[in-house]
Structure 1
Amino acid sequence: MTSPTSDAGPVMTRRDWAALLTIGFGVSLVIMDATIVNVALPVVIEDLDMTATEAQWMNAVYALVFAALLITVGRIGDLKGRRLLFLIGLILFMVASVFAGLAVNAHMLIGARFVQGVGAAMILPTTLSSMNALFVGRARVIAFAVYGSAIGGMAAIGPLLGGWLATDVSWRWAFWLNIPVGLLVAFGIVRSLPETRDPNAQPSGDYLAIILTMVGMGATVFALIESRNYGWWRTDSGTISPVPIVLAVGLVSLLLFVLHERRRRVAGKPVLVDLTLFLIPTFSAGMLAALIVALGEFGLLFTLPLLLQGALGYTALQTGWIILALAMGTFLISSVLPRLSDQLSQRSVVQIGLALETVAVGALALLISRNVPAWHLVVCLFVYGVGVGMATAQLTSLLLKDVPVDESGQASGLQSSARQLGSALGVAVLGGLLIANLGRTTEANLKALSLPGETVDKLTKAVADSAGIAIEGLQRQQGSTAIADAATDAMIHASQLTTGFAALALFIGLLATFRLPKSTDSEETPPAG
């Protein structure tokens, strides 16, 4: 599909819009499902009797398998056809959603989320590389603005839907909602989306690289999440912890992956990842920024609902309404992004967005308290949403801008892998930081009440294992006001620390954007396939 041109440049036709809406809804489905369970998480924890670690895995496994497969499926899409892979991934995603909604225990739910991640890994890079091939000029600016809005907006609308469903219907519909939306997207794929592929792509046969990336990413995230259960060096029973060993395996696997790919390229053999893409300044700097920003963004969306419902007394629906402010900020700024892009460089737009995110999350860390007014939270999240809308759309467009169209599938897979790895690390790092500090501070606060050691241990375990959800029960019990206050204060302290860390991550992401060139103007490359 090539958009017709006018004196002002390429314009959007009706078929362009149909294809773009199909891509937008497909991306929305994937992104929304990454966040929709966040607000419903406390209800899911109670209903399925999940531990805090299982709750982390429910979110992290989705992002983890997503990240591990994106590089591979991006190349498959280039070879076999991006529309075909999009449709196959969508069907797999919907089937897994049915089983997620039917889950009777944590293991079944985590397994279904794993399969959802496989389907999502097929959807995201194929949509992005299709869009990169189909749109040029002014149409490209519009397309990426819509795409960025879908990512940022659905990341926030997901919690609102999750809160409403958990409160008034059932958390299971947070997954079953994917079916009608998925059928709509499937119709759009068949009717409106052209097939594109890379005519020069060749199968790499690089199976060792696939194994190394999966082991590297999986082992690294596993170590970060399970460090709380096993300890970093020794377990509670005094035996050697497997965590540092698993982490070392992950990091060494990623290093071997890089060395292996370099050797194959020097030998003239096909590779899974063309590492020369990282020699493109816009791509390498954008990749680093995307990973760090995703860590801060998705880590915050995992931990904030636990605070609001576990310690501050908000219902799932009320929490969803508060987080909706994030979506409002994102949608508001998306309407003016094309005009803003005419006035400022893409790098400036990204930097302003990240600066707003950093300030908003930093203010949130300072404002969190037992009696913080809801409107304070709403203002912070609204500003944060404006920043997300500015940074996400333009960062995606910027890091792909100088990538040859024939390499768009691979580049899309890499940038999406960076985002999803950042998301998994966000849940692992920020979730682990929240739970670890919640446990330590709860124990210290309860000991200050001169409670028996056995009671302190029992209450601390209940609060930490539930990721703070048990605090609500303590607040309802008569005669346990002091205990509830001790646990509530611990949750607030842990949330302040975690949110502050998220702000720091966003600030580092902002610093990374200064490696981007000030101007990325280049001659438009004609669409492929």
Structure 2
Amino acid sequence: MAHAPAEPTANRRQWFALVFISIAVSLIIVDSTIVNVAIPSIVDELDISSTQVQWVQEAYTLVFASLLLVFGGLADRVGRRRMLLAGVVVFTLASVGAALAPNGGILIAIRFVQGVGGAMVLPTTLSIINATFRGRDRGIAFAVWGSTIGGMAAVGPLLGGWLTTDFSWRWAFGINVPLGIVILAGVWAFVDESRSDDERRIDRVGALLSVLTAGTLVFGLIEGRSLGWWAPEDGLSFLGGDWPLPVSPIPLFFLASAVSCYGFVAWSRHRARHHRSTMLPLDLFTIPSFRNGNIAALVVSLGEFGIILSLPIWLQNARGYDALQTGYVLLGLAIGSFVASGAAGALSNRMEPVWMVRIGILAEIVGVAGIGSVLAVDAPWAGIVGFLFVYGFGVGMATAQLTGVILKDVPVEESGLGSGTQSTSRQLGSALGIAILGTVLFTTTGSTLDTRLDDMGVPPAQADQAVTAVVDSSGGAIAGLDADPATQPVAEAARESLTDGARWSAYAAAGFLLLGLAATFSLGSGGRREDRGGDEDSENEQRRDARAAHRE
């Protein structure tokens, strides 16, 4: 019986490269969460408006999600290490600007630039891993990458709380500078350059259409709750003037996204027929693992970040924790995610990756539904931390292995595009999930608070004022209500209502994760890795050769 050839194993230098790639991922992920706990201090020092507060948080996300695909494709052409180094430089310099920002307008502008740097870094790290590691080592490397994302999403609030409490909100950005220097030195020393052999011109029109597609969609998802999903909010001001139409701007942004997406697909097909390069080779979607994996990643991401959105708000405004205490609670998620990294490495040679994805998503469901079940105004922290550990374990297990499943049949020369596509799918899923779960959180909070105040006999005008204050401040007004003995009963009702909102947001996240679990069954059942051996590698090689021949 013929045996499959032995898989090449990574050397020490490649494992050191993974360390610095993981630190680069940490830099990007931490920045997307660390700012949330620094916002109150930023408001106090820079005296920024509520609209500016929103854009300090969302400018980064909007640009980041819009450019992932573009920079993933460019990395394949210009060199993956070169793109990673350039992205870290842009991100680090922008962090210096953010730390020194004298006012809200400059801070928001710098956050846009940070988003550009982040979009240069994230898909490139995945592409480098895909090009560097093989076989079991690739599974371990993806496990480390995925656990880093899950863990750092929880470490961000802890780090931000500590820096903001003991130093200044400016250090929430300043911390990126020494980390950036370490990453640059490590990547330069240990990461090998790699790039695609395709020397055809870059598809500039396709790049523009991809940015318009993602940018208008993410903007609509982010701003829908504040501008109105269909009917415009009363007195809506948009782009410096009163909004003149009976329809909110949001449907127009969604329409623009759909038109851009159609144009992107049509343009890519046109160029492919003429044997010219495309921003995204559409034949990648003929690979079942890539196509179905991206669908699963988008759906799973709808639910994965629900807790990161609602739990810090609840802990600080209903439970009364400060930013640092909130970070300590969320540390349970980070620990669970890092534990998953070791478990995934141990299982990678015994279990098909798709089954590890399913186990991870199941753990996420148990964790997030468990958190919803124990949420109460007087809930002990231990129960929440325990379920956060389970949830974090699931994130660490599922995120990395799903990434490996998506990219396993993607040719190395197109790994940047593949990485950018799956990262974009996750970002769009996260944006959609945050929009929906945020709506669940605040709509439930507002409706239950209105009912409670009505039962308490509070006059309608006063009740409306209290509901608006609590919802618009994401619960921040509760502390002020509690400070006045006359409004303490209203504050207690607001705590209970915010708890209801957080609970139903958690249950909604669990529902999305159930859909994500169902979506993974389109990836097949798989067998044990050693039972499939070289046959699978042979099938993958034949598929890649067929696709290459088709393009030629």
Relative to the length of structure 1, the TM-score reads 0.92
The 1:420/1:201 distance shift into structure 2, 3 A limit, reads farther
Structure 1 residue aligned with 2:325: 318
Mapping of 1:105-504 within 5 angstroms?
A: 105-207=103-205, 209-231=206-228, 232-237=230-235, 240=246, 241-504=248-511
The 1:70/1:224 distance shift into structure 2, 3 A limit, reads closer
The 1:360/1:341 distance shift into structure 2, 3 A limit, reads same
SS at 1:343's partner residue?
A: coil
Moved more, 270-279 or 456-465: 456-465
Q: Deviations over 1:238-280 (max 9, x none)?
A: 9512222222222332233223322332343321111111111
- Partner of residue 523 from structure 1, selected from 524, 527, 537: 537
Find the aligned partners of 1:424 and 1:487 in 2 and give their Cα distance: 27
The 1:267/1:441 distance shift into structure 2, 3 A limit, reads farther
Q: CA deviation at 1:184?
A: 0.1
Q: Would you say the 8 A contact 2:338–2:396 is kept in 1?
A: yes
Aligned residue identity for 1:355: L
Mapping of 1:503-514 within 5 angstroms?
A: 503-514=510-521
Any gaps of 5 or more consecutive residues in structure 1?
Answer: 1-6
The 1:10/1:193 distance shift into structure 2, 3 A limit, reads same
Find the aligned partners of 2:265 and 2:181 in 1 and give their Cα distance: 39
SS at 1:10's partner residue?
A: coil
Find the aligned partners of 1:24 and 1:242 in 2 and give their Cα distance: 39
Q: CA deviation at 1:84?
A: 1.1
Q: CA deviation at 1:179?
A: 0.6
Find the aligned partners of 2:504 and 2:103 in 1 and give their Cα distance: 31
Q: Would you say the 8 A contact 1:53–1:226 is kept in 2?
A: no
Q: Would you say the 8 A contact 1:133–1:196 is kept in 2?
A: yes
Sequence identity percentage: 45
The 1:202/1:384 distance shift into structure 2, 3 A limit, reads same
Q: Would you say the 8 A contact 1:225–1:429 is kept in 2?
A: no
The 1:422/1:348 distance shift into structure 2, 3 A limit, reads same
Q: CA deviation at 1:408?
A: 0.8
Q: Deviations over 1:468-500 (max 9, x none)?
A: 112122223333211101221221121122222
Q: Deviations over 1:292-313 (max 9, x none)?
A: 2223223421221011101111
Aligned residue identity for 1:484: A
Any gaps of 5 or more consecutive residues in structure 2?
Answer: 237-244, 542-552
Find the aligned partners of 1:221 and 1:492 in 2 and give their Cα distance: 28
Structure 1 residue aligned with 2:71: 73
- Partner of residue 82 from structure 2, selected from 81, 84, 88: 84
Q: CA deviation at 1:48?
A: 5.0
The 1:43/1:465 distance shift into structure 2, 3 A limit, reads farther
Moved more, 363-372 or 436-445: 436-445
Moved more, 409-418 or 446-455: 446-455
Q: CA deviation at 1:287?
A: 0.8
Find the aligned partners of 1:507 and 1:49 in 2 and give their Cα distance: 42
Higher relative contact order (CA 8 A, sep 6+): 1
- Partner of residue 18 from structure 2, selected from 6, 14, 20: 20
Find the aligned partners of 1:85 and 1:198 in 2 and give their Cα distance: 13
Aligned residue identity for 1:411: G
Q: Deviations over 1:310-331 (max 9, x none)?
A: 1111111111111100111111
Find the aligned partners of 1:295 and 1:301 in 2 and give their Cα distance: 12
SS at 2:389's partner residue?
A: helix
Q: Would you say the 8 A contact 2:136–2:348 is kept in 1?
A: no
Find the aligned partners of 1:448 and 1:395 in 2 and give their Cα distance: 48
The 1:507/1:400 distance shift into structure 2, 3 A limit, reads same
Q: CA deviation at 1:235?
A: 3.1
Relative to the length of structure 2, the TM-score reads 0.88
SS at 1:335's partner residue?
A: helix
Find the aligned partners of 2:453 and 2:104 in 1 and give their Cα distance: 30
Q: CA deviation at 1:387?
A: 0.4
Q: CA deviation at 1:201?
A: 4.6
Find the aligned partners of 1:436 and 1:353 in 2 and give their Cα distance: 30
Aligned residue identity for 2:223: E
